[in-house]
Structure 1
């Protein structure tokens, strides 16, 4: 029984390796699903088991300077990804309607493939958000949904970039997501820079609105497929998955917006809330795209209670 199971896994692995598009075969983390799956399993174990135990008897690290550099670097990286998506099709030859999967090797297509791979790699870099949580002993922010989102996103993108590296209309959501991350990481970079930048963070409420707009735009764009009779997109499964992703997260963030900004169930300020340096002040909190910012320090939060509108103080 065990031998048969192992043999079946090996056969499936060989089958997958044979399906990898030749145009991405030489890119890092693309040769086999084993490498990226191992990294993501290691991430999950570190986030929920190894990391918290390593930090159990240690003081929280102060990582503000590192986080400023990290966040602003992610602004530049995501901005570059958006630029590459635009220059490789979305701002040049694409119709923004029924753009099919491209199987050619022309320079623009290869550039689009590279842009998709860069977006894929960015999701691995974003795992550092959780590492910062662990090192700063913010384990309460590392919920199931947080870890699931950060591990599942790069895992699913491996399949997309492997089977359809130049995915046509299926790559639109990646460009939009990268654009949103430019705005968000810029905000969190300012937040981590300290209290002197707080006066520039008046627009924190609108981060959630930006996310909602993202999901609406992505859902509308991908929904065109269902109304175009002559759109012969080669792998409709991607269309269905992207549509479900957009609608699902739109509902989650709409509910948060309703609870936090319409019904007014926002996090109450507390004069007794201690800061990390021992001083007291009112916490400055914002949640958008699963990010939670408190007392000027940026870190990631995908709290089940927050996402479902139950805003609470942590």
Structure 2
């Protein structure tokens, strides 16, 4: 009888141990939230690869699949199909996403263009008001360059319709200006430098004069954010840690980012001159609070207004729902 009791106790202990192990495995697997974010090969997104390579995502309890998609429309359709849970792009592009009845929430600011974009113009054009009646090459079917151009015109009280525009991508616009085919162009490097090398051109304005306007944020599906607030918080924390790593081990950080962007370390260092990353302090300033919103909401609302007026979108989304202030604090 005694042996029987001991045998039964041992069996119970084995079963209990097995259940305990199974519970632990389940708990461990559930503690890691897996989701996917789409990015392009823009240097502003490069620190995300540091977070992945150095294990910051994993340490903070998430597993993030960084999917490269150069086209914003591809990123948007993939998020609509829930193949990805979010993507990085400019503020104005997230407005277009929301206007297409795909609820998106901006949860983190990544970077802004800080001298990497500009308007090049003939030397006799000395101000934005001098562009009235002139031919400007700019991508007029939406996008960051066009929004930035419209933003500057708005600040100066200039009617967009008073300017003759030619629809070109930023790269083609720069090339057209250097070939002396247009009066001005909204473009980026290396065309800013090439324009200054011509006998007739100069840089009229550059993005370091309008900080925070050409800015990238991560927008996530609203249903994902609502169900996974801890995962979103971990994503934000991992971004901050990646930026810290750039300061603590600059050489290794540059190497990781260069590999991800398909550049040499020297090329990436040069590219960094035209971009500014957003750490926690900059995020707090850029987001502000729900009671006192920062520049992010200002640009979100302006994007909605301008895109609606130009028929880029059919209807204005509820901009108050496009920003979540709770994760960057």
TM-score by length of 1: 0.19
Looking at CA atoms only, which structure, 1 or 2, has the larger radius of gyration?
2
More helix by share: 1
More strand by share: 2
